[in-house]
Structure 1
Amino acid sequence: MIPALAPLFQGPFAQYREVLTLLDDPRPALSGREFVSPERLEQQMLRFAPEHAEGDRRALLSLWSKYYFLRLIPPVLAAGLILNWRLPLDFDEIQVVVGADGLPEAFKLPHGGERWNCPPQDGFERFGDLLDANLLPFIEGLRAHRKIAARVLWSNAGNYFEWFMATLGGLPFPKPMLAPGLQVLEARLRPDGARNPLFDPIRYVPQGEGCAPWRQRRQCCIRNELGMTMCDNCSLLDAPPVEASGAPD
């Protein structure tokens, strides 16, 4: 646990209390690059889903990648938006604690980070350490192993980014506090003019009077290529199968 973040990870965020930690954490860990090395990826994916050992490796890689995004993105957003805390997330400097199931349990950071003296209002600057120094090399590492479309992996990341921003939006935080995170989802282009791969990953489909809109992804995660049922929010569905709760697939 990072001491400065302890007050944040209580109540609804308690599950993230031990996700961001420091190098003195005694749990064995892999460097970021080793974590996505071909040999390690194969081992981790097969520990995660041995029943799909003969299945489409791209689909398995996509399914496995979701847990990285789900584990890392929410606590980083919470720290960055609520505490204005900048975390050292460079993929070449972090270490990943891997569970017996082949999934990331925690991330050891080289130090505890620091509070922004003047928090950037631009979301791409505020979360550059997450987007450019971590998610980009992580996704490139996966794509070097299997030729999966980058848009599939970025959509997986965007799915959890949007979900957690919606979670924060449902809590009593001032809207300006959340604006930098929302900008990352709402800007088609980044400040330098490059395409934003996290732009608009989710749409909310009206379901008639008295019904909540259906939260639907714009890009399929291709897990159906493993013979699995589609996610409840799959882009290939014409209507929601059943109401889901908790974190999205």
Structure 2
Amino acid sequence: MTVLNSLETFGKSLDAIFVGDLEHLRPHLVVGRSEQASRSVRDALDDCWLDAIVESFNQTYGNTPRTAVLSIWSKWYFATALPPLICSNILLDQTPPLELEHFRIAFTPDHKIDSVAIPEGEVAPVQSRPGNRLLPIVEKHLYPFVKLYHARTGVSRRILWNNAGTLVEGLLTYLERVQIGGAARDECSDFLQLPNLPNGKRNPLFQPVAYVLLDEVPARRRRVCCLRFQLPDGKLCCACPKQEERVESSSVPDVEDVKG
């Protein structure tokens, strides 16, 4: 079997799991070669392209500090790339290439993300050890992405890791609610409760959200603010840790929750 066929087979398997309660998460992940124009992640984060992302965002939502724009854009990236990576890990016991150099981004005309593509590379079985099921995604993809994105944009590592972790926690919570994933899902959830990685380093996805009681109802709160409040409308994301009175939902696409 060629690498291309392996990716195509994986892509068909991936499509097959995004049905029913997962249909709304149908991935914008293209595996195998595609005719759609795309840019490598590194090229997509060069100064000219980042300027274009910020300009398009400001044209749509109003003038916003650059760091806040790029924090929100990172959330869109995580919302596109992470659900298919995690769901294939849990439901297929397989993972596509995770290294950043394998990933390409296709953009919409207004510089949002249309899809993330993996044109080549090996599909591998998940090497699961208790509590470490998410470790390859963290080590091979998230660490390099956060390092590069922080260096190119100035968005803090704490914000970026919390943007990723909040998305992961939301996805796993949703899978639990609809009773999908079983023991493999629970292994991923357990990873979020580990303060340290096997190598002794701090787990950057450790407890990304907290649940606080408001009027005796649990409310989900990020550990670190994503800077959404800096947009001209001043509205808060749905899991904002700030203590101000809640306001209406924003028109900016939000990815804090993964709901059906």
- Give TM-score, length-normalised by structure 1: 0.86
1:102 aligns with one of 111, 114, 118: 111
| Matching residue of 1:230 | 236
Structure 1: stretches of 5+ with no match in the other structure: none
Question: Structure 1 stretch 74-83 or stretch 221-230: which is displaced more?
Answer: 221-230
- Counterparts of 1:179-198 in structure 2, within 5 Å, are 179-198=186-205
1:13 and 2:22 are equivalent in the alignment: yes
1:27–1:231 distance in 2 versus 1, CA, 3 Å:
same
Q: 2:90–2:181: 8 Å Cα contact kept in structure 1?
A: no
**SS at the partner of 1:206?**
strand
Give 1:120's aligned amino acid.
Answer: S
1:26 and 2:31 are equivalent in the alignment: no
1:214 aligns with one of 208, 213, 219: 219
1:138 and 2:145 are equivalent in the alignment: yes
Give me the whole-angstrom Cα distance separating, in 2, the residues matched to 1:10 and 1:22.
Answer: 18
Q: 1:190–1:196: 8 Å Cα contact kept in structure 2?
A: yes
1:129–1:28 distance in 2 versus 1, CA, 3 Å:
farther
**SS at the partner of 1:203?**
strand
2:44 aligns with one of 22, 26, 35: 35
Q: In the comparison of the two structures, how many residue pairs are matched? A: 244
**SS at the partner of 1:134?**
helix
**SS at the partner of 2:214?**
coil
Cα deviation, residue 193, structure 1: 0.6
2:169 aligns with one of 145, 162, 168: 162
Cα deviation, residue 63, structure 1: 1.4
1:159–1:18 distance in 2 versus 1, CA, 3 Å:
closer
Give me the whole-angstrom Cα distance separating, in 1, the residues matched to 2:181 and 2:135.
Answer: 23
Cα deviation, residue 206, structure 1: 2.2
- Counterparts of 1:120-139 in structure 2, within 5 Å, are 120-124=128-132, 126-139=133-146
1:13–1:113 distance in 2 versus 1, CA, 3 Å:
farther
1:242–1:41 distance in 2 versus 1, CA, 3 Å:
closer
1:106–1:113 distance in 2 versus 1, CA, 3 Å:
farther
Question: Structure 1 stretch 156-165 or stretch 94-103: which is displaced more?
Answer: 94-103
Q: 2:71–2:159: 8 Å Cα contact kept in structure 1?
A: yes
**SS at the partner of 1:180?**
helix
| Matching residue of 2:179 | 172
Give me the whole-angstrom Cα distance separating, in 1, the residues matched to 2:245 and 2:231.
Answer: 22
Structure 2: stretches of 5+ with no match in the other structure: 1-7
Structure 1 vs Structure 2: percent identity of aligned residues? Answer: 26
Cα deviation, residue 39, structure 1: 1.7
Q: 1:224–1:230: 8 Å Cα contact kept in structure 2?
A: yes
Cα deviation, residue 115, structure 1: 5.4
Deviation readout 1:123-177 (Å, 9 max, x if unpaired): 54x3344222222222222211232321011111111110000000112236422
Q: Post-superposition, which runs of at least 4 consecutive aligned residues in structure 1 deviate over 6 A?
A: none
Give me the whole-angstrom Cα distance separating, in 2, the residues matched to 1:235 and 1:177.
Answer: 30
**SS at the partner of 2:220?**
strand
